[in-house]
Amino acid sequence: MTTTELTELDLEARALALESPRDPGAAATRIAKRHGIGILDIMGPCRLRHVVRARFELYRTLRDFGWSYPAIGKFVGDRDHTTVIAALRKGEAAATVALRQKRWRELRLETHWLGPAGVYVDGLLTPSRMMQHHAETCPRGS
Phi, psi of 40 (to 5 degrees): -70, -25
Show the domains of the chain with their CATH numbers: 3-105 (1.10.1750.10)
- Tally the residues of the chain: 142
Q: What pLDDT shows up at residue 110?
A: 57
Residues sharing a CB contact under 8 Å with residue 84, sequence separation 6 or more, in sequence order: 59, 69, 72, 73, 76
Sequential pLDDT tens for the chain (142 residues): 445 555 565 666 555 555 555 688 888 999 999 999 999 999 999 999 999 999 999 999 999 888 999 999 999 999 999 999 999 999 888 888 888 888 877 776 655 444 454 455 555 556 666 667 667 777 665 5
Q: What pLDDT shows up at residue 73?
A: 94
Nearest to 84 by CA among 96, 75, 93: 75
pTM: predicted TM-score of the whole model, two decimal places: 0.59
The Cα–Cα gap between 93 and 117 comes to 36
Q: What pLDDT shows up at residue 130?
A: 64
- Largest interatomic CA distance in the chain: 72
Residues sharing a CB contact under 8 Å with residue 132, sequence separation 6 or more, in sequence order: none
